[in-house]
Amino acid sequence: MNDPQFFKRAGAPTIADIVDWTGARAPEGADLSTPILGVAPLDSGARGDLVFLDNAKYLSSLGQSTATACLIAGKYAERLAPATMPLVCDDPYRAFAKALARLFPEAARPVSLFGSTGISPGASIHPDARLEDGVVVDPGAVIGPGAVIGARTVIGPNAVIGPHVRIGRDCSIGAHVSLICALVGDRVIIHPGARIGQDGFGFAMGPSGHQKIPQVGRVIIQNDVEIGANTTVDRGANRDTMIGEGSKIDNLVQIGHNVTIGRHCVIVAQVGISGSTELGDFVVVGGQAGLTGHLKVGSGAQIAAQSGVMNDVPAGGRWGGAPAGPMKEYFRRLVVLERLAAATVGTPASAAAVDPMKPGKQ
- CATH number of residue 42's parent domain: 3.40.1390.10
Nearest residue to 265 (alpha-carbon basis) of 241, 239, 246: 246
Task: Indicate if the pLDDT at residue 88 is higher than 60.
Answer: yes
Q: Could you tell me how far CA 233 lies from the centroid of its own chain?
A: 15
Report the pLDDT averaged over residues 326-349: 83
Domain range for 63? 15-108
Cross-strand partners of 71: 52, 87
> How long is the chain?
362
Number of domains comprising the chain: 1
Residue 24 lies in a domain: yes
Does residue 253 carry a pLDDT above 70? yes
Is residue 80 domain-resident?
yes
Give the span between the Cα atoms of 41 and 352, in whole angstroms: 31
Q: Is the pLDDT of residue 199 over 60?
A: yes
pLDDT of 354 higher than 60: no
Give the residue-averaged pLDDT of 86-111. Answer: 93
Give catalytic residues, as residue numbers: 257
Residue 300 lies in a domain: no
131 in a structural domain: no
Average pLDDT value for the chain: 93
CA angle 154, 159, 165 (to 5 degrees): 80
| Alpha helices, DSSP H, located in 69-199 | 92-103, 105-108
User: Is 59 among the domain residues?
Assistant: yes
Which of helix, strand or coil describes residue 18? helix
Domain contains 137: no
pTM for the full predicted model: 0.89
Residue pair 307/317 in contact by the 8 Å Cβ criterion: no
**Amino acid symbol at 223:** N
Q: How far apart are CA 150 and CA 159, in angstroms?
A: 16
Flag whether 44 is in a domain. Answer: yes
